[in-house]
Structure 1
């Protein structure tokens, strides 16, 4: 039986995404548990995020005869730094990379001129050749960005970028260009060589035509997120306490 499974992870907890990328990549961590518990030998991934990039809504395809409830429970209990929260049972094989839309968000914590940044980012919307804003591989560099907007949360700016597909380093390159105060991206004659930091980038969601995901209710998921919140809040307080020394100088 084929299942699409949505899951999230803290990218800073892993050595990269693709299998073979260090001893603790996202894919290797999942496959190791699938094999250990006789669930399956492989996964197919919808998106391969850069090292230190996180995800709230990546998707993987699993072919297994194991009950999906057991699969979700084992994955959540046995892989630290990840949470698996919804699934879709398929009648036949579906390449998970053939999605209809991906959404990424980039978190900006510093003070910026958001109007200026959004004006530059707006030039990326539509169909363009991103040859100067990506790391080249064998793929076509022409891509279509459906929309770019922003929201605010806890005093931070959240830049939301939607499109069906992106090339390697495209979003980080775009963000660096806008945050550096550059304008008119497609007037460049040469490659733009800067990348924004990977840690603030999050793969928020991937959607498919005619595919509905069913939420999986599990306590370990909530436990992981509560622990993550506690650790994050503690880290923020430590930074605030340590920063008092700087204020006194």
Structure 2
């Protein structure tokens, strides 16, 4: 019999932000293949004694697939530990297709995304009543091109929250796209590097006009989330539109309106 391969989201970096299920699988794993260039190695501390642990940062997709297949032939539980959530900006489908073809059982355990961890670190919300109810997770085109219609300028035209992954080295292009979409130069921008990483997290607040200089001053050039949103700084606004869910004048199935 062959084992089962689990694709586990390690979360944004803090080993305590992995899910309970993810930790339980690591504690039972016979083999763990982890993304060492992105996942804090502390996440592998949950592995039992004698567990095979391999860093995948120097491996090709084919080498990772071969390693997982070999491990599944020898262990009941094999974990591929990925940064954030396995379904965002990873090679999940590329890795699972050959497993399915080989008849290997696999499953996915979701993880906390760096987009959510960055907002949490800065004490910000990504949505607000009557401001924006939409969050777009995207990136700037680099070596991986963007499909037609998904250019940042086109998405920014919606004036919703933008969580921009994998783009800190292209911050000048983020600035250009937002301005071209009609955002003001003094619109707030948030950059969080290594959100939740103990002792390594950096939070930079600025505007479209000055965020690049501020990030350069902090030497932020990798592993950073960029958030552009009309909700940024709402904690200091003089007034907010009230949430209907908690408004005394609003009825729902758990509470009748009191006004």
User: TM-score of the superposition, structure 1-length normalised?
Assistant: 0.30
Name the structure with the higher strand share: 1
User: TM-score of the superposition, structure 2-length normalised?
Assistant: 0.29
Query: Which of structures 1 and 2 has the larger relative contact order (alpha carbons within 8 angstroms, sep 6+)?
Result: 1
Bigger-Rg structure (1/2):
2
